[in-house]
Amino acid sequence: MVGNPRYVDVNIFVYWLGNHPKLGQTAQKWMKKIEESQRGDYITSTLTLYETLVILAGLTGKNLKDTTLVNRVLNALTSLKPLRIEPLKIEDYNKAADLMNECQLDYEDSLHLAVAIRAKAEEIVSNDKDFDITQIKRTF
C-alpha cells in the first residue's frame, strides 16, 4: 500500500477468531489482505489485543485465567506478521478524552481513534458505524 496505514478495529478480529456466522467471512477477507500486505500497511493497538481477549472470553463462557484461550488469541494476532501493533501512549489517553466529546464516542472507541490519528491512518476497518462521524473514513 502506498500512503498511510489502515487501522483495524477490534471487531474484525473478534469476527475472525469467533467464526461469526454473518461477518466471519468478511473478517477472513480482511485477514487475507493483512497477510498479503507490507508490514505497516495495517495497524492496530495493544488495546485491541486485550479487548479481543475479553470479548472472546465472554462469548465462549471462558475467562482470562484460561491460558489456552489467551495463547490462542495472542498467537493468532501476533502471527499476522505484516500487522503493526501500536502501543498505547499517554498522549492517546489524553486525546481520547477530547475525542469523546468531539466525536460522541465512548472512551474505548476514542482510544482506538486516537491511535489511528497518531499513526496517520487513512481508514478504520470496522463495522462500528460510530466511526462514521470521525475524521477518518470507515471501511468494512
pLDDT in tens, 35-87: 999 999 999 999 999 999 999 999 999 999 999 999 999 999 999 999 999 99
Chain segment 38-49, per-residue pLDDT in tens? 999 999 999 999
**What number of other Cβ atoms are within 10 A of residue 30's Cβ?**
19
Percent of the chain with pLDDT over 90: 97
**Looking at the domain covering 6-139, what would its CATH class be?**
alpha beta
- For the chain, the structural domain boundaries read 6-139
Question: Mean pLDDT over all residues of the chain?
Answer: 95
What is the pTM (predicted TM-score) of this model?
Answer: 0.93
End-to-end CA separation in angstroms for the chain: 17
Name the strand (E) or helix (H) holding 124.
strand 123-125
